Amino acid sequence: MKADLHPKNYRPVVFKDMSNDYAFLTRSCIDSKETIQWEDGNEYPLIKLEISHMSHPFYTGKMKLVDTAGRIDKFRTRYAKK
């Protein structure tokens, strides 16, 4: 195996699903400019998610249209020419 392949700066990070305000604390090395105060009173970096297992149709059994930043419109304009 290659040496020093994996990052060394893992730390606790809060991931928050913005569609239903579900949040969970886990370890990650992703960079973030925002922070949030967690249930234990400590402040952790915040990563905002558009979808998680609490809002994904496969896990919830409910269909939900998620149109972020006009993805459907981008798709239609891209393939409208053909």
DSSP string over 36-75: EE-TTS-EEEEEEES--TTT-HHHHS-------TTHHHHH
**Model confidence over 4-63: pLDDT tens digits?**
888 888 999 999 988 888 899 999 999 999 999 999 999 999 999 887 777 766 656 666
Residues of the domain holding 24:
11-80
* Whether the predicted model's global pTM rises above the 0.85 cut: no
Residue 4 in any domain: the answer is no
Residue 5 in any domain: the answer is no
Residue 58 in any domain: the answer is yes
Residue 3 in any domain: the answer is no
The pLDDT value recorded for residue 28 is: 94
Residue 69 in any domain: the answer is yes
* Distance separating alpha carbons of residues 34 and 47, to the nearest angstrom: 8
Residue 64 in any domain: the answer is yes
- Interacting residues of 82 by C-beta distance below 8 A, sequence separation 6+: none
Residue 46 in any domain: the answer is yes
Number of domains present in the structure of the chain = 1
Residue 1 in any domain: the answer is no
